[in-house]
Homo-oligomer: A and B are copies of this chain.
Amino acid sequence: MLAEIVSIGDELLKGQRVNTNAAFMAGALAGIGVPVQRIVACSDLETEMVAVLAESLERADIVLVTGGLGPTRDDRTKKAVQQLLGRGVEVSEEAYAHLATWMKQRGREVPDSLRDQAVVIEGSIVIENTRGTAAGMIIECGEQFRNHYLVLMPGVPTEMKAMMELSVVPWFASLSRTVIRHTPVKTLGIGESMLAEMIVDVEDSLPAGTTLAYLPHAAGVNLMITSIGREREEVERDNQSVVDAIVQRAGRFVYATREVTLEATIGELLSLAGKSVAVAESCTGGLVASRLTDVAGSSAYFLQGFVVYSNEAKHQALGVPRETIQTFGAVSEEVARAMASGCIEKSGADFAISTTGIAGPGGGSQEKPVGMVCLAIAQKTSGTVESRTLYMYGDREQNKLRFSEAALRELWECLRRNPKQ
């Protein structure tokens, strides 16, 4: 069984919106062993939608479509499907009842402008929208495309996701029989070509049905090992053998072999050691704290963050001596170390990490260019403070992200070196 995804909306073609929906749907289908062959974004012109949907239905058994089901005039997906399949529409009693309840909970009647939200293609299986008003549909295409399915969902991510999880995935899981196993190997601090050299022999002898993909990110590269087959046991064994071989060769750069973020990995190490952390940030402006607290349950080990943008704040909040700032400059390892020490002192945390640097675009000099960052890690028990300086080459947004990534990486390495401290 093969799937394709069609994302409808001019905003995608104008670059006004990133197509996160397609990635989510593709991931959900992969999880039930349905490979996606193509993802197509097209405009909401009816002629174009009809052409794209017809082509996808020729190639694939299932076509997931998002967008164009809303209450406004640029929402024309149902019209295109009517034309393509030669079918009419009908009011779904089920969808209308849901809509009425939805509005009632908000203290309103169903306004005329929303009635169309309960209109579906004739003969559809209605997908309940637990997060909004537009009904979704699973349509067996009949005549022209016998046994091919068209699934229509709204483009609003939360609505689509809920429909996928509650209705679409369970529906198609039973139709599919292929077994797929994905395992990520997440690395830090090594580039794509270096990593490729280290594992060249593994790539040379991949089992049949197993592939290896490189996914570079801000601070390194992740690998994805995918095995496909009919027998679950064989698929899992092949997959694991490749993962093991890679870890054997590049283990010191590997922080996880499952879907987990670096932030969560750090959280696990801290929880395991029963230790706490606090952060003192200048150039990252709160991003390191925000990433650490993206992890559910992070309140167990994350105590406090100081975003000390001004020199005065560095002094007042963390006790960084004014002379240190004057002598070495705000962007210096000396200030980074004083920030980390002050952060331990003020927060009482076991570990503190600090950042001070130049995110740009302004503020750089020959000596201290845009992209320069000083990081320090302080440890309460040992009283040690380590610092280092790194240079990045991006715009403000990239630099902030890479600075935060580097800070988290330093913290991860420190925690790994000192598991019991």
Report which A residues bind B (CB closer than 8 A).
9-20, 22-30, 35-43, 48, 52, 70-74, 111, 113-114, 131, 133, 156, 158, 182, 184, 192-193, 196-197, 203, 211-216, 224, 226, 279, 281, 284-290, 292-294, 296-299, 302-310, 312-313, 316-317, 346-348, 360-363, 393-394, 396-398, 400
Contacts and interface: CB of A to CB of B under 8 A. Distances in A.
A49 to B, nearest CB: 11
B304 A313 contact: yes
Given A39-B40, A71-B196, A296-B362, A316 B224 contact: no
Q: How many copies of this chain sit in the oligomeric assembly?
A: 2
Contact of A16 (B196, B224, B394): B224
A38 B52 contact: yes
A12 B27 contact: no
Contacts of A11: 213, 215, 224
23 contacts: A10-B213, A12-B22, A15-B22, A16-B213, A70-B192, A72-B196, A133-B193, A158-B394, A285-B292, A285-B293, A285-B305, A286-B288, A289-B289, A296-B361, A296-B362, A296-B396, A297-B362, A299-B309, A304-B313, A305-B306, A306-B317, A317-B317, A317-B346
B35 A26 contact: no
Contacts of A156: 216
A112 B114 CA distance: 62
Nearest to A19: B19
Given A304-B308, A304-B313, A30 B42 contact: no
B39 A26 contact: no
A309 B293 contact: yes
B285 A14 contact: no
B71 A193 contact: yes
A330 to B, nearest CB: 10
A306 B280 CA distance: 10
A293 B193 CA distance: 34
Contact of A74 (B28, B197, B213, B289): B213
